[in-house]
Amino acid sequence: MAQKTDPPVSTVSEEPAWKQRAIERSTKAAKLRAEQRVERFLDAAQAIITEKGTTDFTVQEVVDRSRQSLRSFYQHFDGKHELLLALFEDALRRSADQIRAAADGQTDPLEQLRVAVHLLFELCRPDPAAQRPLFTDFAPQLLLSHPAEVKVAHSPMLSLFTELITGAEAAGELRSGLTPRRLAALTMQTVMFNAQSSGPADAEGANSLTADEVWEFCSHGFAGK
């Protein structure tokens, strides 16, 4: 994209430094604007989601709401899935922070884990009244279309659980033959998935699972030996 009339002295790597700077300056503004636009799309989508409690929004809605154009949308996002992914990642990161904060309130490693599991469960459960049908909702869709990206999005949460479990291990509270990371992955997914299929918080009677039950399961399994 830039190589035609260069004096043969400069190597490719340190090209024309001044030119780079010039380009950069020229670029910076654009980049900034781009970021703002992306932000606007993200905010609009977020607003719509929390507003109508579902992730079934249309790209057009987001575009209208953000007072931008379809053209612009597709120039900044590879498609709707990227938007979802971005929101998903964000929500997950935030949730991880929230859970970490809650866990910090405890001193006993196992208690920290218990609190984390409980909170994660509540956050993932599809609660119409809550403000984040977020990852609880479109995680499945994305899991189908872009499993790799979802894995990436999960990483903050996975890190958190790995930390917590490592802590428990250090305190001698574990005995599993699995590595902390594996345990973390299993626990996380078990909690998230079971929360999702456990229906709304109120559901009739004894049907749906509770956070306590999931905790009991994750911490002890079913074997009694």
Partner DNA sequence: GCTTCGAGAGAATATCATTCTCAAGAATTG
Partner DNA sequence: CAATTCTTGAGAATGATATTCTCTCGAAGC
Nearer to a second copy, 63 or 84 (CB): 84
Instruction: Output the smallest distance, CB 94 to DNA, in A.
Output: 24
Contacts of 18 (CB under 8 A, 6+ apart): none
Given candidates 4, 5, 144, 204, which one binds a second copy under the rule CB under 8 A? 144
Amino acid at 176: S
Residue 59 sits in the site that holds DNA (CB under 7 A): yes
Residue 186 sits in the site that holds a second copy (CB under 8 A): yes
Query: Which segment (53-61, 123-131, 182-190, 202-210) binds DNA by CB under 7 A?
Result: 53-61
Whether 133 and 53 have beta carbons less than 8 Å apart is answered as: yes
d(CA 11, CA 131): 55
Site string for DNA, 132-171 (x = CB under 7 A): ----------------------------------------
Query: Binding to a second copy (CB under 8 A): which residues in 76-135?
Result: 110, 113
Contacts of 31 (CB under 8 A, 6+ apart): none
Measured from the Cβ of residue 3, the count of other Cβ atoms closer than 10 Å reads 7
Whether 155 and 89 have beta carbons less than 8 Å apart is answered as: no
Nearer to a second copy, 68 or 155 (CB): 155
Site string for DNA, 88-127 (x = CB under 7 A): ----------------------------------------
9-46 b/e (C-beta count within 10 Å ≥ 16 → b): eeeeeeeeeeeeeeeeeeeeeeeeeeeebbebbbebbb
Instruction: List interacting residues with a second copy (CB under 8 A).
Output: 110, 113, 137, 140-141, 143-144, 147, 151, 165, 168, 172-178, 182-183, 185-187, 189-190, 193-194, 196-197, 199, 209, 213-214, 216-225
